[in-house]
Chains A and B, each alone.
Chain A
């Protein structure tokens, strides 16, 4: 009797925990899905905010998010790929250098996002940007203030571990026999990497980029001090412009708006767009990875 009760209690507790997770997901998706879908219109996606942001759309935030992840990828994808090449093709798996870099990559992925924001502010804006202004602009503020370039570079650092791990994974799946075949034909190491290893890792590089973009599109903390703006009716027109961002837009709408209730429909719809964007990107990454695995087996 006593044992049977215990068994039932365990079943209820474990089942309950599992259902709590499912419940949370369903609740979030249902709330955002219903609330967002109702307020999603073509005008909302294509127009700027109006009337103290209680009306109008989120077009500048969509463009800003897009430009942010684009610049981030231009910086992050090559650096991540080159790091993975170095780790996988040049240093031994057990060497001190390799282990040191891997430790750094793992540590980087454990640093809270807000710390990256502070790093971006201190390093890119004050040190690099401020330095450029002192030398090139007679102390006039051009680069030494938040802008989309510094925000993108900060985000690139945040997403670097995802990128490196993903590319390295793909390179590990390139059979050693192919490298040997290439070298035995008189190809150099670099030619082998460029013509055999990299093309074979293309889907891994793409997966890494998509995962990084998905993460970069959703994070707010790193761009808080480095470039995101509260309200900009105009689109960024250069690297020194600030920008609007979907995640940041949700944050200011729900905490900084003079009339939070009036912006509620916009909050729902913005969250809907952001979720749809990150889900689509993650789904793409899963598809690519599946495709890559299948090819590795064959």
Chain B
């Protein structure tokens, strides 16, 4: 573990290095690894996306780079302050902490949060520290329920006794200790609404499992928590997502890592993840044809991109799914199952799928 003090020193070193260049009359340059598909390598052995070795040179004395250079330094300075104070800030906080107008200009240091977020990712790459280690957190966004007892900051928490909302997953889950894990597997789902269904039907109790969801994006906290449950307690992870290219990609990110976070793939990937549904075969088997929604152009474009990803290219099963989706030229949401009955998902669909081990790897 990196302590706050060590993290702070790493950031300070970055600054000292640059000042040394400046005082030697050399233009200050940051060497940031390129975070784009062009610099992503799929490690077949580890089954994970990793960053290649393309470096983009960010020279302050280059019109195209000056602003980004400044943004990165601003973020570094703020992170250093946070570490010194032992406080945490959200991504949004950091955005406001550095947002201001540069004197004598009409230029703001940042105009949108995406700019400060990018600067933070640069800082992660430059210091080799994760965002959490820099005391910058994302918003909590996920819920969990199941037969698990944990300890967090001295509090004991029973995930089976969290009322109707479940326990909300913090952005940093490194400090959590698992006290008792009775559950046998985890279902991670794309939709909070589906989680509510499973929770109301006490699915986790009946099936002795953990149900987890996020609102939309799979946050780093959730990915890390899933990884820990998989690695430390050997729990299989099942992914329940929409039958569309975006749903497939949620699985892809969980399993192989994402392009933006390729530099953190070691602590993020989940080689044991399995795609439970909705699959193209489910559409047939569970009579969801009437619930299909016609593809738009963007869907088809995205599907074609997925088909060509290195990590899907050689999987016959996945290529078959892609092809079937292409032929249907349509997609379906998880909630399409409700057409068969409100609790069809918890009483029939999920138990059957899990029992028959009907999933994709």
Q: Do A and B come from one complex?
A: no
Q: Which residues of A approach B to under 8 Å, CB–CB?
A: none
